Structure 1
Amino acid sequence: MNFWSLNKAKKKEGKIAIVTGANAGIGYETTKGLASVGIEVIMACRDLQKAENAKQKILKSLPEAKLKLMEIDLASLTSVHAFAENFKAQYDKLDILVNNAGVMMTPLQKTEDGLELQMATNYFGHFLLTGLLIPVLEKSFRSRVVSLSSLAHRWGDIHFDNLNAEKSYDKRQFYAQSKLACLIFAYHLDKKLVKKGFDMHSYATHPGISNTNLMRNLPKWLRFLSPLLMPIFSQSAEKGALPILRACLDDTLNGGEYIGPSGTKQYKGHPVIVDSDYNSKDKYKAKKLWKVSEELVNFNYFKNTDTKAQAS
């Protein structure tokens, strides 16, 4: 089979991308891959010192890379607003938005906005960021929003009565819920963009099982066994970034695809179009999640845009 690879991507000089969580793991490799085809990448990170270290590391191997650091904390809606305003003050267009930053299986924490940390960082912050940046995405030709889900989306459901741990908390289930929300959002956003006649598309991706620093919050027994299990079941962050890079760069995609590894159970392998759990395709849940999300982040998508069709 003739699989997609980064060396098949066309040069994209003049294009601008934002990658959240760009200083480590999948975000770092995504940034490096985009920079390698001439794209200017805004490394949107919470810790600017770590971002600077990552930038310098990329520049050592890609001296011509166009990289810019900008601060964002996806767990803070105030920070998301500030980042969007800062970006729009400096740039009049955006070609690619990669919603990558995330946390995994953290102890229960509530953000300054009263949101559960995993839902806030992985989903709500990116939901708001995407909406705020649609005006600049709209100014680019065939712009793209790429959202990271996970195999973990199959573990859970959207618990609307306990969305932000109002009643109980299980770190594994909340991680699954956040990644399912990201996938539902990616699918539903693409449908809305098509109905409204926007020249942009939304894609979902997952990296399979990739060896990144997100693994630090796994149960102790699993972290103990990871040196034995990881080489068998996982792949490097560099390979884990390939589904994201394909979603960003493959000109044959139509929009709305979900891309992940080709191997057994989608653990690792080449980036291919994959299927997802039935919950991710539930139209009722998609519409309800969208409505609740707009309310919780206090932002109405498409409110000030001319529409060619009614909202779905």
Structure 2
Amino acid sequence: MASLRGPAPWDVRRLPRAEGKNFLVTGGNAGIGYFVAEQLAGTGATVVLGCRDGGRAEAARASIRARVAGARVRHVRLDLADLSSLRASADALGLDRLDAVVCNAGVLLDEPPRRETRDGNELMFATNHLGHFALIGWLAPLLAAAPAGRVVTTGSFTAKSVSLDLDDLQSARDYRPKRAYSRSKLAQMLAGFELDRRLRAAGATALSVVTHPGGALDSLTPARPPVRVRTGAERLRGLPAGLLLQGKEAAAWPAVRAVLDPSVRGGQLWGPRILGIRGRPVLEPVRGHLADTALAARLWVATARLTGLDPIARFG
């Protein structure tokens, strides 16, 4: 794993310029993904919002353009739960290279019943993990064409509290929605670390970085009408939580730094500074299940089998 020493000072309000670069943000039309896209657009880069709903994507695009003068923002339809559609989504980018993809989109179900995609995969595992894994495979040639393409995986601190059952990856037994979500994020993060190890072994120039946003609340999130509307009452209700948590604008900072900071290295984990739940983005140690390379390698093989695609084969 990468060293914990020496990243340069980083100002979340004064990001480096990135004119001429192309970034794809999955789920960039709402939540944390929206703020990742807005902040990256402020660097002069071209930002592509990957999401299913064209109307919501257009609302997010208009909001970003209203706040960022001259923003270069567009949309590509992306449904991570539909594995058969992802190649067409990658082709629809129409780019000759992709400097970074932020794998941010996710589904969190609060209660049963267990839901499946039309491919027969559990919905959260399919969207959060399988879809991003396959998408990276289809994007691999574009990432390889960039001088130093980056895959940035947005995980969750809840992943640190669960374990992965390779014999029941899709929670067919004893389905509990919140646990299934955390397991899907653990799988996603493990795959992000394993991707970097395999990229290094293959001699690829691209790198893979894992981040997590900490604790983010809507009530602490700045308004971005019509994408995000916040009432005065909601803002007041969120004030006590602001001592421990943060809004989604700040929760976007680790992913934005992972995309832009030249000191970031593959295989690193970035998250909020204060207890891992709020504050500016800093480098974190990779511990526990996240550091289990044998588990990650076995997960990779299982995921390649489920998706019918091994991303590394396409980086060559």
In the alignment, residue 295 of structure 1 is paired with which amino acid?
R
Matched, 1:156 2:162: yes
Q: Please name the residue that 1:295 is paired with.
A: 305
SS, match of residue 234 in structure 1:
coil
CA gap of 1:100–1:212, structure 2 versus 1, over 3 A, is farther
Cα separation, 2, equivalents of 1:212 and 1:200: 34
Cα separation, 2, equivalents of 1:267 and 1:305: 34
In the alignment, residue 244 of structure 2 is paired with which amino acid?
F
Cα separation, 1, equivalents of 2:196 and 2:312: 13
SS, match of residue 203 in structure 1:
strand
Decide whether the 8 Å contact of 1:144 with 1:248 is kept in 2: yes
Instruction: Measure how far apart 1:126 and its partner are.
Output: 0.3
Instruction: Measure how far apart 1:256 and its partner are.
Output: 1.3
Q: Please name the residue that 2:44 is paired with.
A: 38
Instruction: Measure how far apart 1:103 and its partner are.
Output: 1.4
Cα separation, 1, equivalents of 2:28 and 2:101: 12
Cα separation, 1, equivalents of 2:63 and 2:238: 26
User: After alignment, is 77-86 or 284-293 more displaced?
Assistant: 77-86
Cα separation, 2, equivalents of 1:112 and 1:155: 30
In the alignment, residue 24 of structure 2 is paired with which amino acid?
I
1:140 to 146, 169, 182: 146
CA gap of 1:79–1:305, structure 2 versus 1, over 3 A, is closer
In the alignment, residue 281 of structure 1 is paired with which amino acid?
A
Matched, 1:131 2:137: yes
2:258 to 240, 244, 247: 247
Query: Structure 1 stretches of 5 or more lacking a match?
Result: 214-225, 307-312
CA gap of 1:28–1:136, structure 2 versus 1, over 3 A, is same
Cα separation, 2, equivalents of 1:94 and 1:127: 16
Decide whether the 8 Å contact of 1:3 with 1:270 is kept in 2: no
Instruction: Measure how far apart 1:188 and its partner are.
Output: 0.9
2:103 to 96, 99, 102: 99
Give the TM-score taking structure 2 as reference length: 0.88
Q: Please name the residue that 1:283 is paired with.
A: 293
Q: Please name the residue that 1:310 is paired with.
A: none
Give the TM-score taking structure 1 as reference length: 0.89
Q: What CA deviation, in whole Å up to 9, does each residue of 1:126-146 have, x standing for no partner?
A: 000011111110000111000
1:232 to 229, 233, 243: 243
2:195 to 170, 189, 208: 189
Matched, 1:50 2:66: no
Cα separation, 1, equivalents of 2:120 and 2:195: 25
In the alignment, residue 297 of structure 1 is paired with which amino acid?
T
CA gap of 1:69–1:85, structure 2 versus 1, over 3 A, is same
SS, match of residue 138 in structure 1:
helix
Instruction: Measure how far apart 1:251 and its partner are.
Output: 0.5
Decide whether the 8 Å contact of 1:162 with 1:168 is kept in 2: no
2:268 to 257, 271, 291: 257
Q: Please name the residue that 2:175 is paired with.
A: 169
1:270 to 280, 287, 311: 280
Decide whether the 8 Å contact of 1:146 with 1:203 is kept in 2: yes
CA gap of 1:231–1:302, structure 2 versus 1, over 3 A, is closer
Cα separation, 2, equivalents of 1:125 and 1:305: 18
Decide whether the 8 Å contact of 2:136 with 2:311 is kept in 1: no
2:84 to 64, 78, 83: 78
Q: Please name the residue that 1:218 is paired with.
A: none
User: After alignment, is 197-206 or 105-114 more displaced?
Assistant: 105-114
Decide whether the 8 Å contact of 1:259 with 1:273 is kept in 2: yes
Identity of aligned residues (%): 34
RMSD of aligned C-alpha atoms? 2.1
In the alignment, residue 313 of structure 2 is paired with which amino acid?
K
Q: Please name the residue that 2:4 is paired with.
A: none
Instruction: Measure how far apart 1:212 and its partner are.
Output: 4.1
Cα separation, 2, equivalents of 1:137 and 1:236: 31
SS, match of residue 97 in structure 1:
strand
Cα separation, 2, equivalents of 1:38 and 1:139: 20
SS, match of residue 312 in structure 2:
coil
Cα separation, 2, equivalents of 1:104 and 1:58: 25
CA gap of 1:272–1:183, structure 2 versus 1, over 3 A, is same
User: After alignment, is 237-246 or 166-175 more displaced?
Assistant: 166-175
